[in-house]
């Protein structure tokens, strides 16, 4: 297992809304390494490691892991041009998409200013916007809107999907889709 970002870039953090802990992981019987773990204080299910596999998985390149059913098929026929990503965490997935998918633009919506101020290591060309992910309003249109707002697949309700469609359907380019990686769903 390898970290995604250089661990020296990610300081431990104990803020108002989240913590980032340095945890020891074992690569093999004699080889250990340190990896950052992001956790919300009020919702311990929302956790993200500084790891490449979830980032690749959320972009359809990972072959599935961690109980998430994301497949490359969800992205079939979609252009990786203008992307909207809802949720930041440590920035692994947006950074991976920006560096590996030849995007024209990548906007990330994150409601928590503390997270935005903390995550300084992602590519500077990723546009991070502080706003509520459920109510963000823009006239810009996107090829893909990726929703990274849940901890486990069972948390995604029909009400959530309806709310996303109601808020973002006018922001989809022709043929664009809203992807919910954690549940393996595509809505449009």
Residues 6+ apart with CB under 8 A from 36: 3, 5, 7, 10, 12, 20, 21, 22, 23, 49, 50, 90
Q: What is the pLDDT of residues 3-39, one digit of tens each?
A: 889 999 999 999 999 999 999 887 777 788 888 989 9
pTM of the predicted structure, to 2 decimals = 0.91
- Catalogue all structural domains in the chain, each as residue range(s) with its CATH number: 7-187 (3.40.50.150)
């Amino acid at each position: 297992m390898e970290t995604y970002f250089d661990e020296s870039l990610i300081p431990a953090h104990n803020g108002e809304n989240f913590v980032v802990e340095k945890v020891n992981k074992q690569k093999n019987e004699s080889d250990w390494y340190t990896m950052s773990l992001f956790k919300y204080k009020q919702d311990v299910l929302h956790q993200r490691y500084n790891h490449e596999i979830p980032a690749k998985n959320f972009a359809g390149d990972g072959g599935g892991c961690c109980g998430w059913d994301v497949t490359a098929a969800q992205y079939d026929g979609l252009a990786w041009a203008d992307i909207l990503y809802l949720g930041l965490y440590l920035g692994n997935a947006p950074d991976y998409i920006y560096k590996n998918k030849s995007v024209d633009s990548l906007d990330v919506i994150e409601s928590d200013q503390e997270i935005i101020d903390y995550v300084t290591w992602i590519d500077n060309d990723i546009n991070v916007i502080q706003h509520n992910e459920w109510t963000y309003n823009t006239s810009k249109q996107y090829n893909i809107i990726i929703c990274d707002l849940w901890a486990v697949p069972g948390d995604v309700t029909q009400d959530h999907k309806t709310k996303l469609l109601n808020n973002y359907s006018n922001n989809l380019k022709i043929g664009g889709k809203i992807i919910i990686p954690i549940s393996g769903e595509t809505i449009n």
